[in-house]
Amino acid sequence: MAGSAMSEAARVPLGMLAVFASAKLVRELFERMKQPGIVGEILAGVLIGPHVLGWIQPGDVLSALSELGVMFLLFRIGLEVKPSELLRLGPTALTVASGGVGLSMIFGVLIALAWGQTMLGALFIGAAIVATSVAISAEVLASRGLLEARASRTILASAVVDDILGLIVLALVSSYARGQMNWMELTLTAALAIGFTLFVAIWGHHAARRMVPRMEANLQLADAQFTLAMTVLFGLSVLAVYAGVAAIIGAFLGGVALSETVGERVHTMTNGVSELLVPFFLAGIGMSFDPAVFSNGGTILLAMVLLVAAIAAKLLGCGAGALRLGKRDALRVGVGMAPRGEVGMVVAQIGRGMGVMTDSVFAIVVFLSVATTLVSPPMIRVAFRGAREAEPQARADEIERIG
Amino acid sequence: MAGSAMSEAARVPLGMLAVFASAKLVRELFERMKQPGIVGEILAGVLIGPHVLGWIQPGDVLSALSELGVMFLLFRIGLEVKPSELLRLGPTALTVASGGVGLSMIFGVLIALAWGQTMLGALFIGAAIVATSVAISAEVLASRGLLEARASRTILASAVVDDILGLIVLALVSSYARGQMNWMELTLTAALAIGFTLFVAIWGHHAARRMVPRMEANLQLADAQFTLAMTVLFGLSVLAVYAGVAAIIGAFLGGVALSETVGERVHTMTNGVSELLVPFFLAGIGMSFDPAVFSNGGTILLAMVLLVAAIAAKLLGCGAGALRLGKRDALRVGVGMAPRGEVGMVVAQIGRGMGVMTDSVFAIVVFLSVATTLVSPPMIRVAFRGAREAEPQARADEIERIG
């Protein structure tokens, strides 16, 4: 085979090997040092990414695998959550998410104004730090067998509400930036997102319980249940995007809807896909980290102040919203809601596109999503200390399922 | 969210939904009509692809998913094959593969010369139809629970040898095209490919049996066995490419090496990935079909003559090589070796790059890979009629494993 044809033929398996194996290797090293494995996988991405070793250049294929990875992560988590529980947690989730979103916005705007930004620029910086990225917390909690804990359930439910609030904040800020507030459009946007989420959360599992067994019985396909599950996963992810929320919210709700219907085999098959693809999501976060953010003192200072404020906002805001669960669980919910992610980057991209956000501010937003993601797992571990002992039955179930 | 950001965010889940769901849907329709499901999935690709409905445009992401799909398909098949059996079948595989490759080359060159091609052009056409693509036959046999049959094992073993012979033919023809035969380089190429394959086939399972349990016991990682399996899969696929054979041969040999080591959970997790990704491989074949090949009478005639010759060459050549298994199994092996695939397209691309192959001949090679792939499954079904009754124990094992 000609040399170029050979390197072309090796591209896909070589890329898979480099990302997958280095993520798992660094994860293993971290776990041996009793550090969170997820931090190891993200750092593996920093290491092999374009700014350090340069083994891997981000591109369409990697970002698609990373998107699929986070969709499968949330879908798999959703499969472990009962819909009734999600709905029961609705009121708490509403106060938790509102507290965190509100305080993040206030902190972000005040710091940005103090730093000399225009009101519009400040609003975009605020909007870029409102949205929690639940995937990271979910991974930490799942890998430590803590998904059954009450605080974990509250985090998952709040993240769904948080995503809708983030969408509304972005719609408000964009509308303000265009110079007129189109209330009709804003109301429609919010109604569509809320309607979609409530509809799937309330009716999804009823529909699944009725239709999946019936369709499965009628299908000739091997592994019909898995095929139906994948169709639900991708279908709801698409609908979620068109309803204005993130694809992963659709994936999560799809998992919840199917949690009482699909069998153990579908769980294991889904775990296979998720074990394969989640490293691409985690390493992908690391690859997006650009050390250029540390090029001058002012930027470093702003980045650090915003980092502390972003974490404090969720700790205090979400914690206050969860106080009815007791102080310990309120703290757990607060740290679990701290990681930020791709939603912030989308906001920042729109802000940059509108010319109200400079490149260095954009780099700070990317830095914040990597940094909150890196510092949260150790905080989650500390905050959840004792959660296992508190719920021995749930833990035993988890062990049984994992084993 | 802005309209363009929305369609961007929906791109990955929408593409996944379109390809996966339509492939499975058409497969279901075909299975209801008692037709091979695999043909349905390929036709779904023709339907949604650029030349008919135009829903999906082939691109980097789709072709990466398709490559991964066929790697997982072969890996999964390899997991069902015992290494001892593969080696025991070596001598038969050698005669089967040589017969098929030799006769394909002869038929291809003669037809091309008769059609007025130069000797060099004729050699490339011959080289483009020598290599069997075993993925299609493997899928049909696996989905019908026939992998345990002796003829099926022979097909798999022969496909490995066939791939090496295809590489050597390509090296010879390319060398001839460059005007000088570099025998030293040719010998090295062949030795590397044969050495790699024999080394993995003979030593792979010993290494796996020693190292996998030891590493698994020492790893902190959850699902350590699956992580090791994926690393072997990607690692051997890369090495296979650098040794000059196809990535899927590495994937297959990786599966064989691990077949006696990994547990049921890794099988199920691998099935999850393969169920998800194989439709992308199959629909991807369909998408590459371009009806332009039927634009003029001469091209249609050549395409049809080559199609018949390509199938006859494997039927007669491989069948003759497998005669020691009895006539019925010889026929089964012959039809099982008939599908051509991506190796032929690689040869054709090189030939086109060298200017010895016109665009219309290139289109014919692509057509041959789609057409042989479409006509083989029904022939395999007919040829394997009775294979279940002949090996009731093997069939019972298969049912147990699937159920």
Contact B130, B104 (CB under 8 A): yes
Q: Which of A37-51, B25-39, B166-180 has the lowest mean pLDDT?
A: B166-180
A400 — pLDDT class (breaks 50, 70, 90): very low
Q: Do A13 and B237 touch (CB under 8 A)?
A: yes
Q: Which residue of A has its CA nearest to B64?
A: A12
Q: Side chain identity at A325, as an amino acid letter?
A: L
> What distance in Å separates residue B120's CA from the closest CA in chain A?
17
Residue numbers in A near B74 (CB within 8 A): none
Catalogue all structural domains in chain A, each as residue range(s) with its CATH number.
65-402 (1.20.1530.20)
Q: CB neighbours of A170 closer than 8 A, spacing ≥ 6?
A: A127, A346, A347, A350, B1
Render pLDDT for B116-173 as a digit per residue (tens, 0 to 9): 989 999 999 999 999 998 888 898 898 888 999 999 999 999 998 998 898 889 888 8
What string of H, E and C letters represents the secondary structure of B74-113? HHHHHCCCCHHHHHHCHHHHHHHHHHHHHHHHHHHHHHHH
What does the pLDDT read at residue B58? 87
A18 or A1, greater pLDDT: A18
Q: Do A222 and B402 touch (CB under 8 A)?
A: yes
What does the pLDDT read at residue A4? 63
A6, A237, A244 member nearest B13 (Cβ): A237
CA-closest candidate to residue A270, choices A79, A104, A115: A79
Q: Do B275 and A402 touch (CB under 8 A)?
A: no
pTM for the structure as a whole: 0.86
Measured CA angle at B399 (ends B394, B403), to 5 deg: 155
The residue of B143, B226, B234, B349 whose CB has the most chain A CBs within 10 angstroms, and thus the best one to mutate to test that interface, is B234
What is the distance between the alpha carbons of residues B14 and A234, in angstroms, rounded to a whole number? 7
Contact A177, A113 (CB under 8 A): no
In this structure, the dihedral spanned by the alpha carbons of residues B265, B270, B271 and B274, taken in order and rounded to 10 degrees, is 170
CA atoms within 13 A on the CB side of A30: 19
Residue numbers in B near A144 (CB within 8 A): none
Render pLDDT for A102-111 as a digit per residue (tens, 0 to 9): 999 999 999 9
Render pLDDT for B60-98 as a digit per residue (tens, 0 to 9): 999 999 999 999 998 998 898 888 888 899 999 999 999
Q: Do A10 and B242 touch (CB under 8 A)?
A: yes
Q: Which of A340-354, A362-376, B198-212 has the lowest mean pLDDT?
A: A340-354
B13, B244, B349 member nearest A71 (Cβ): B13
Q: Side chain identity at A169, as an amino acid letter?
A: V
What does the pLDDT read at residue B397? 45
Residue numbers in A near B272 (CB within 8 A): 226, 268-273
Residue numbers in A near B246 (CB within 8 A): 9
The pair of structure tokens assigned to B137 is 């036959």
What does the pLDDT read at residue B144? 87
Alpha-carbon Rg of chain A, whole angstroms?
A: 21
A1, A2, A220 member nearest B31 (Cβ): A220
Q: Do A271 and B14 touch (CB under 8 A)?
A: no
Alpha-carbon Rg of chain B, whole angstroms?
A: 21
Q: Do B241 and A9 touch (CB under 8 A)?
A: yes
> What distance in Å separates residue A247's CA from the closest CA in chain B?
7
Render pLDDT for B302-333 as a digit per residue (tens, 0 to 9): 999 999 999 999 999 999 999 999 999 999 99
What does the pLDDT read at residue B388? 63
Count other Cβ atoms within 10 Å, centred on residue A142: 19
Residue numbers in A near B221 (CB within 8 A): 24, 27-28, 31, 37
Q: Do A67 and B12 touch (CB under 8 A)?
A: yes
Residue numbers in A near B343 (CB within 8 A): none
Q: Which residue of A has its CA nearest to B240?
A: A10
What is the distance between the alpha carbons of residues B317 and B299, in angstroms, rounded to a whole number? 26
Contact B351, B128 (CB under 8 A): yes
Predicted confidence (pLDDT) at residue B5 exceeds the cutoff of 70: no
Predicted confidence (pLDDT) at residue A62 exceeds the cutoff of 70: yes
What does the pLDDT read at residue A389? 44
Give percent of chain B with pLDDT exceeding 70: 94
Helix (H, G, I), strand (E, B) or coil at A132: strand
Residue numbers in B near A59 (CB within 8 A): 60
A6 — pLDDT class (breaks 50, 70, 90): low
Predicted confidence (pLDDT) at residue A15 exceeds the cutoff of 50: yes
**Taking residues A295-322, what's their average pLDDT?**
93
Contact A165, A97 (CB under 8 A): yes
Q: Do A238 and B17 touch (CB under 8 A)?
A: yes
What is the distance between the alpha carbons of residues B39 and B211, in angstroms, rounded to a whole number? 40
- Beta-bridged to residue A132, according to DSSP, are A340
Residue numbers in A near B346 (CB within 8 A): 1, 5, 9
Q: Which of A106-110, A219-223, A263-267, B182-186 has the lowest mean pLDDT?
A: B182-186
Q: Which of A102-106, A229-233, A386-390, B120-124 has the lowest mean pLDDT?
A: A386-390
Q: Do A12 and B68 touch (CB under 8 A)?
A: yes
A234, A269, A273 member nearest B17 (Cβ): A234
Residue A185 phi/psi, 5-degree rounding, is: -65, -40
What does the pLDDT read at residue B226? 96
B231, B270, B272 member nearest A226 (Cβ): B272
Residue numbers in A near B71 (CB within 8 A): 13
Q: Which of A242-246, A349-353, B320-324, B381-385 has the lowest mean pLDDT?
A: A349-353
Render pLDDT for B344-364 as a digit per residue (tens, 0 to 9): 877 887 888 788 888 888 888
Helix (H, G, I), strand (E, B) or coil at B132: strand
Q: Do B12 and A268 touch (CB under 8 A)?
A: no
How many residues can be counted in chain A?
403
> What distance in Å separates residue B293's CA from the closest CA in chain A?
25
Predicted confidence (pLDDT) at residue A207 exceeds the cutoff of 70: yes
A227 — pLDDT class (breaks 50, 70, 90): very high
Helix (H, G, I), strand (E, B) or coil at B263: coil
Q: Which residue of A has its CA nearest to B346?
A: A5
What is the distance between the alpha carbons of residues A368 and A338, in angstroms, rounded to a whole number? 11
The residue of B170, B172, B241, B281 whose CB has the most chain A CBs within 10 angstroms, and thus the best one to mutate to test that interface, is B241
Residue numbers in A near B61 (CB within 8 A): 60-61, 64
Q: Do A1 and B237 touch (CB under 8 A)?
A: no
**Residue labelled with tokens 């009793």:** A34
What is the distance between the alpha carbons of residues A233 and B271, in angstroms, rounded to a whole number? 18
**Taking residues A347-355, what's their average pLDDT?**
81
Q: Do B12 and A68 touch (CB under 8 A)?
A: yes
Segment holding A7, helix H or strand E = helix A3-32
Predicted confidence (pLDDT) at residue B395 exceeds the cutoff of 70: no
Render pLDDT for B12-38 as a digit per residue (tens, 0 to 9): 999 999 999 999 999 999 989 888 888
Predicted confidence (pLDDT) at residue A332 exceeds the cutoff of 90: yes
Q: Do A68 and B16 touch (CB under 8 A)?
A: yes
Q: Side chain identity at B320, as an amino acid letter?
A: A
Sign of the CA dihedral running B185, B190, B194, B197: positive
> What distance in Å separates residue A245's CA from the closest CA in chain B?
9
> What distance in Å separates residue B107's CA from the closest CA in chain A?
23
What string of H, E and C letters represents the secondary structure of A188-222? HHHHHHHHHHHHHHHHHHHHHHHHHHHHHHHCCCC
What does the pLDDT read at residue B353? 79
The residue of A163, A267, A276, A349 whose CB has the most chain B CBs within 10 angstroms, and thus the best one to mutate to test that interface, is A276
B87 or B111, greater pLDDT: B111
What is the distance between the alpha carbons of residues B352 and B346, in angstroms, rounded to a whole number? 10
Q: Which residue of B has its CA nearest to A167?
A: B1
Q: Do A67 and B170 touch (CB under 8 A)?
A: no
Render pLDDT for A241-291 as a digit per residue (tens, 0 to 9): 898 888 888 999 999 999 999 999 999 999 999 999 999 998 988 888 777
> What distance in Å separates residue B283's CA from the closest CA in chain A?
16
DSSP string spanning A239-262? HHHHHTS-HHHHHHHHHHHHTTTS
What does the pLDDT read at residue B3? 56
Predicted confidence (pLDDT) at residue B402 exceeds the cutoff of 60: no
Residue numbers in B near A234 (CB within 8 A): 13-14, 16-17, 20-21
A9, A220, A346 member nearest B32 (Cβ): A220
Q: Do B221 and A28 touch (CB under 8 A)?
A: yes
